[in-house]
Amino acid sequence: MRSVCEEQNFQEIYRSHAKPLRNYLYYKSGDLEKAEDLSQEALIRLWENCKEVIFEKAKSYLYTIAHRLMLDHFRHQKVVLEFVKESPAPITNQDPDFTLREKEFESILEKAIAELPEGQREAFLMNRIDKMSYAEIAETLGISVKAVEKRMHLALHSLKDKIKELGIYKF
């Protein structure tokens, strides 16, 4: 029986699951830095508890720990948000009008993506950020390719409508 505590086995787990775990957390939270931190923390906890984890169950253990860490983070954020203040905008040499429109569009797009239902957001980000094919997304999420196609169609339609609804950009 393979042991998670053996360095070679742990490295195999790390190579196979670190990036997908980070992406899973990113899709759930929308915060790449926090996703990276939480995925590393989950991997550290796997290493610390390697004697208690069966090699074949390591992936499940990682995702369970990562999900719990994310929930803890969200609970903590509710408290922290009251004390966070916005930092001043950085100074740039770009045209102020262009910078304003660019930030406005990014904000609208991020908000529109965040408002997508979870399944659509996951499929959309896996396809557009990770460049995963519909078949790869289907395998990762445990759904059919047709379900992925439908989620992508609905996500793209929703994003287009949201941006169009605000009347800022014409299609």
CB atoms within 10 A of CB 140: 17
DSSP string across 25-47: HHHHHS-HHHHHHHHHHHHHHHH
Check residues 137 and 98 and name the one with the higher pLDDT.
Answer: 137
Q: Work out the percent of the chain whose per-residue pLDDT is above 90.
A: 31
**Tokens found for residue 154:** 């609905």
pTM of the full predicted structure? 0.49
55: pLDDT strictly greater than 70: yes
Mean per-residue pLDDT, 105-132:
84
85: pLDDT strictly greater than 90: no
88: pLDDT strictly greater than 90: no
Mean per-residue pLDDT, 78-84:
59
pLDDT band (50, 70, 90) for residue 4: confident
Mean per-residue pLDDT, 19-46:
89
User: Which CATH number applies to 7-82?
Assistant: 1.10.1740
**Tokens found for residue 61:** 């253990």
Specify the CATH architecture of the domain 88-165: Orthogonal Bundle (1.10)
The rounded distance, in Å, linking the Cα atoms of 145 and 151 is 10
CA 135: distance to chain centroid? 19
Tell me the one-letter amino acid at 48: E
Q: Where are the domains of the chain?
A: 7-82, 88-165
Residue 30, sorted as left (phi over 0), alpha (psi -120 to 50) or beta, turns out to be: left
pLDDT band (50, 70, 90) for residue 36: very high
